[in-house]
Amino acid sequence: MALFSAIRDYHRRLSLHRKVFFSSLTLLFLILVVNSIAYWRIFIPMFVDQMKTYSLRVAYYLATRCRPLILSGDLEELHRVIVLREAIEYEIAYIFVTDETNRMLAYTFPEHVPPEIDSVRLPGPEEERIRLIRVGQSWIYDTAVLVKEGTRLIGVIHVGMRKTPLDRMIREMGVVLVLLMVVTVGLAVFLSQLAATYITTPLKRLTTAMKQLARGLDQPLPSIFRSQRCWEVKDCARTECPAYGNTLEPCWTMVARTHSGQQSDSEPLIRGVCKVCKVYREAQGDEIAQLAHAFGEIIWSMRAKAEKLASSEKKRRLLFDYDPNGVLLVERSMERILEANQTAMRMLGCQGGELLERDFLSLLEEEDAQLLRSRASSCPTGQAFDIPKLRVRTCAQEQLLVNLHARVVELPDAAGAAAGPCLLVRMVDVTKRLQEESLLIQASKMATLGEMATGVAHELNQPLNVIKVGADFFHKMANRKESIQPDKLLTIAKNMSEQVDRASRIIDHLREFGRKSEFQLYPTDLNEAIRGAFTLLGQQLALREISVELNLQPDLPRILGDKNRLEQIFLNLITNARDAMTSNAPNSPRRLTVASFAVKDRVVVEVSDTGVGIPQAVLGRIFEPFFTTKPPGEGTGLGLSITYNLVKDFKGSIEVQSTLGVGTTFLLSFPAYREANHGAQEAAANR
Residues 6+ apart with CB under 8 A from 141: 51, 52, 55, 130, 131, 132, 160, 161, 163
pLDDT of 262 reads 44
**Stronger pLDDT, 477 or 337, i.e. the higher one:** 337
The residues that bridge with 428 in the sheet, in sequence order, are: 403
The predicted model scores a pTM of 0.42
- Cβ atoms within 10 Å, residue 104: 13
Residues 6+ apart with CB under 8 A from 288: 202, 203, 205, 206
pLDDT of 550 reads 92
Q: Please, what is the average pLDDT of the chain?
A: 75
In whole angstroms, how large is the CA radius of gyration of the chain?
A: 44
What is the domain partition of the chain in residue ranges?
15-212, 223-313, 352-429, 438-685
pLDDT at 439 over 70: no
Indicate the angle between helix axes 639-649 and 563-582, nearest 10 degrees: 150
Highest mean pLDDT among 2-11, 44-53, 431-440, 478-487: 44-53
Helix (H), strand (E) at residue 342: helix 342-348
How far apart CA 86 and CA 59 sit, in angstroms, is: 11
pLDDT at 562 over 80: yes
Is CATH 3.30.450.20 the right assignment for the domain spanning 15-212? yes
pLDDT band of 604, cuts 50, 70, 90: very high
Nearest to 148, CA basis, from 70, 209, 78: 70
pLDDT at 581 over 60: yes
Is residue 260 left, alpha or beta, with left meaning phi > 0 and alpha meaning psi from -120 to 50?
Answer: left
pLDDT of 183 reads 80
Taking only the tens place, the pLDDT of each residue in 34-93 is 777 776 677 778 878 888 888 888 888 888 888 888 888 888 888 888 888 888 777 888
How far apart CA 593 and CA 573 sit, in angstroms, is: 11
Q: What 3-state DSSP class applies to 76?
A: helix
Helix (H), strand (E) at residue 570: helix 563-582
Taking only the tens place, the pLDDT of each residue in 413-422 is 655 555 678 8
Nearest to 44, CA basis, from 33, 35, 56, 54: 35
| Side-chain-side CA neighbours of residue 415 (13 Å) | 6
How far apart CA 545 and CA 537 sit, in angstroms, is: 13
Domain 352-429 in the same topology as domain 15-212:
yes
Provide mean pLDDT across the span 134-139: 82
Least-confidence region, from 202-216, 423-437, 647-661:
202-216
**Stronger pLDDT, 503 or 141, i.e. the higher one:** 141
For the chain, the first-to-last Cα distance in angstroms comes to 48
* Strands 326-331, 104-107: pairing kind: unpaired
Q: What are phi and psi of 511, to 5 degrees?
A: -65, -45
pLDDT at 137 over 70: yes
Is CATH 3.40.190.10 the right assignment for the domain spanning 438-685? no
pLDDT of 665 reads 93
pLDDT at 442 over 70: no
Q: Which CATH class is domain 352-429?
A: alpha beta
Three-state SS string over 3-67 comes to HHHHHHHHHHHCCHHHHHHHHHHHHHHHHHHHHHHHHHHHHHHHHHHHHHHHHHHHHHHHHHHHH
Residue pair 43/173 in contact by the 8 Å Cβ criterion: yes
